[in-house]
Structure formats: structure tokens, C-alpha cells
Structure 1
Amino acid sequence: MSQKVATFLMFQNGDAEEAMTFYVSLFDDAKVVTLTHYGPGEDGVEGKVKQGLFTLAGQEYMCFDSGPRHGFTFTPSMSLFVTCDTEADLDRLYAALAEGGGELMPLGSYGFSTKFGWVADRFGVSWQLNLP
């Protein structure tokens, strides 16, 4: 038996497709693999993401738009950690992901890497960006 693990992102505001498109635009080797929407009469909001599968830098992620509201959303205690090859790449990703979101740790040198920053993007997903 072969097992596979993927990060699954649940969006509560109908933002799954917008978020997926945004993320794919930021990373190399990134693409939307599959995307299905809720149809008429299905148990979800018609036209919203029933299931999305996308890759960022070769890593698979899944997402969907939740119909029911939940008492929770994304939290910084679970974040996506990105190791960048260049300072320019780190700065570009930090600026794009922070726009409309929030800064959790400003760009700086914290002793464990050359440069590091932590943001929550406009969808609430937390990203740690590191330059070793």
C-alpha cells in the first residue's frame, strides 16, 4: 500500500479558487492540477470549489470552499515553510504574500538564517519564508 500526504486548505469565505490562482502565480513549478466546482443541487455553494489540487514547487496541496461555517479558520501555528534560493526571491514572496494580510515576524536576521520573515496572507494562510 502506498500512502500520500498533502496539505489540505479549507476556505470559509469562498476564496479557494482565488487563493489557489494567487499561489500558483508566485512559485516556480506550480500549476493547478484539477479543479471541480459545486453544481446545482450539490451539498455546497454552486460555483465554488468542491475540490482543487495544485502544486507549488512540486509539492501537492488540496483545497475547497466549505459550505458550512465553522468556529475555526487558519492559524499561524500551522504554516507553510518556504526555503528561498535568493534574497530577491524571498523579498518578492514576502511582499506579495503580506499584501492585504499581516506581518507576524518582519524580515530580518534572527540568528538561525541569513534572512527570515513570517506573514499571514490575505486569505489567512501563514507562510514562513527563509533564506538559509
Structure 2
Amino acid sequence: MPTSVLPFLMFQGQGSDALDFYLFVFPHSKIEHIERYQAGDSGAEGSIKLARFTLGEQSVLCTDSPIKHAFSFTPSFSFFVECASQDEVRRLGSLLKEGGAELMPVDHYGFSTLFTWVSDRFGVSWQLNCA
């Protein structure tokens, strides 16, 4: 039996910037643990070897891969965020899509009072919903 199942975000040199951004965007978020590559390690010195952080009540792992890959994030995986208000949907959507993309504009789509789907500047996809 698995002991845990967590989202794992693999960046390619932007992990620290992404982590700082997410901690800014989501109040009460925190870093639970962070380990950085040291001189002589396989990754760039100071980049994230492994970090565990919390957004809302969700723990997330991330790394800066020392191996360059021909792939990145895709909207087929996204974080689904239940927002407390329509203002929060708008605020988070505006912050997260800056430098990224708006996949579904803020609107009422029939399944919620307000919804938007955005991709941030790091390529991570976010669905923001106000029931």
C-alpha cells in the first residue's frame, strides 16, 4: 500500500522562482522542507533538489531537474482550487495568468457561479472555482 500520493512538479531551473511565486499568490502557504543542490551535485548549485510545500491543505513536491527534457507541463494536469468568493477567483486568476495564458476566461459556465482556467508563467495549469 502506498503511504502517500502527492503532486510532483518538475521544473528546469525555475523551481525557486515558481515556489516564491506560489507562496506569494496563496496566503498561508508554506515551505515544509527544501533541499538545494550543492557544488559538485548533479544539479545547478542553489537550485531545488527537492522541496515540499503546502498550498491550502495540499502538500506538493517540486524539483529542478538536472536533466533537460523535451517536455514540460500540460493542461491535462491542473490544480483545482475551490475559492471562497468570486473576488478570489478573479484575484487568483489575474495573478496566475500573468506571463502565462488564459485557457478559459472568468465566466459562469453552468457548473459553478464563477470559474476560470489559467496556465501560469511556469506552465502549471490552475482551475479556479467558486461554487
Q: What TM-score do the two structures reach when normalised by structure 2?
A: 0.95
CA drift of 1:68 comes to 1.1
* Secondary structure at 1:92 match in 2: helix
Query: How many Å separate the matches in 2 of 1:82 and 1:7?
Result: 14
What letter matches 2:88 in structure 1? D
Taking the aligned partners of 2:44 and 2:83, their CA distance within structure 1 comes to: 37
Spell out, residue by residue over 1:72-129, the C-alpha distance to the aligned partner (whole angstroms, 9 max, x if none).
Answer: 1100000000010101111110000010100100000111111100000000000000
> Aligned partners of 1:76 and 1:95: how far apart in 2?
17
Taking structure 1 as the reference length, what is the TM-score of the superposition? Answer: 0.94
SS at match of 1:93: helix
Q: Which residue of 1 aligns with 2:105?
A: 106
Alpha-carbon displacement from aligned partner over 1:8-50 (angstroms, at most 9, x marks no partner): 00001x1111111111222233101111111111111111110
Unaligned ranges ≥5, structure 2: none
Structure 1 unmatched runs, 5+: none
Which aligned pairs between 1:15-94 and structure 2 lie closer than 5 A?
15-94=14-93
* CA deviation profile, 1:47-81 (whole Å, cap 9, x unmatched): 11101110011210000101111121100000000
Is this contact kept in 2: 1:76–1:125, CA < 8 A?
A: yes
Partner of 2:8: 8
Q: State the alpha-carbon separation in 1 of the partners of residues 17 and 8 from structure 2.
A: 15
- Structure 2 residue 125 is matched with structure 1 residue 126: yes
Identity of aligned residues (%): 49
Structure 1 runs of 4+ aligned residues shifted over 4 Å read none
State the superposition RMSD in angstroms.
Answer: 1.2
Residue identity matched to 1:56: L
Report how far residue 2 of structure 1 moved.
6.4
Is 103-112 or 20-29 further displaced after alignment?
Answer: 20-29
Letter of the structure 1 residue corresponding to residue 64 of structure 2: D
Paired residue type of 1:59? Q
Q: Is the 8 A contact 1:29 1:58 kept in 2?
A: no
